[in-house]
Each structure stands twice: as C-alpha cells, then as structure tokens.
Amino acid sequence: MAILHIITAPDPRLKQLSAPVAKVDAEIRQLMDDMLETMHAAPGIGLAAPQVGVLKRVIVLEIDREETKVGPLFMANPEIVDASDDDAIYNEGCLSVPEHYADVSRPAEVTVRYLDRDGKRQDLKCEGLLATCVQHEIDHLDGILFIDKISALKRNMILRKLVKERKERENAL
C-alpha cells in the first residue's frame, strides 16, 4: 500500500467529473487500499479518488467515533438511490479544504447503491454522520466541494486563505 498525495482547493481537478469504474479489478482494489491508508494517515473519515488526482468514481469511508462506528467501506460507482425529506446539518470539513469547516445541510438519511471491493452490488441505508459522509464523498465524484454548498462570501474567504497558505508554503521552499 502507499500513501497518496491529497490535492487541495482550488486545484481544478477537484471540479471535474469522475468516470465510472468498468469493473472492480486488482487495479481498483489497489487504489481503494491506497486511498484507505492515505485517509488514515491524514487523518480523515472519508476520501474520494479525485482528492488523490484519480478521476474515477471510487470512495472509501471509515468512521470510528463514539456515536458512529462503520467501515472500512469501499465503494465503486456509488449513487444515492433514495433520500429522506428531512435534512440534517453537520459541521463539515474536508481533507482537500484543510482546517476549514462549515455547517452544511443534507438529507438526514440516504440509501446508496455501489459496487463493493469484490465487485458485488450493495445497497446501504445510511443515517447520521455516515449519511453526511457518503453524500460529501459522492459530491467529490461530481466535482462538488462542501464549500460549494455554503454562502459565496464564506466560500471565497476560505479559498483566498487556501491560496495564500499555498503561496506561503511555496515561498518557504
């Protein structure tokens, strides 16, 4: 396994659509394993392939919190097939938007259909933090960041800070 480089906003690759996975083969399983190791090292609870520069519809999730313990989950071609009418608000963060957080409203419960690590179709009903995390990671596959779901003023403030931090890192080298 390998730890991959996580790209950060405003990298244009984060705004691109990811291609469906034709089949879950050894290459995709290796990507999933590398993504899981990368996510753990970051540390995070979810990671989408575009965040490591791979434009494929693959996500990994693992939540180990007092109130929620799930995973690891490996999902290829995940899609929301059902969503509740009720919304939940979570204070979201993202490995591609480091050290920035914002309240985001999403459906409180969703059912996601995907191919697992063995290529078998699965349906999983998600609620709470898992529902938020699944939706957040699927958004990455569609070129959407959580900051796209907040006010333009707050989003622009975060992006300006990220650009400034990147320039300061580059100048320090």
Catalytic residues: 137
- Report how far Cα 168 is from the mean position of its chain's Cα atoms: 26
Furthest-apart CA atoms within the chain: distance in Å: 50
29 class by beta-carbon count within 10 Å (0-12 exposed, 13-18 middle, 19+ buried): middle
Label residue 88 left, alpha or beta by phi (over 0 means left) and psi (-120 to 50 means alpha).
beta
The answer to whether 158 touches 22, Cβ cutoff 8 Å, is: no
- Three-class secondary structure of residue 54 per DSSP: coil
117 class by beta-carbon count within 10 Å (0-12 exposed, 13-18 middle, 19+ buried): middle
17: its two tokens? 């659509």
Q: Please, what is the Cα angle at 68 between 46 and 6, to 5 degrees?
A: 15
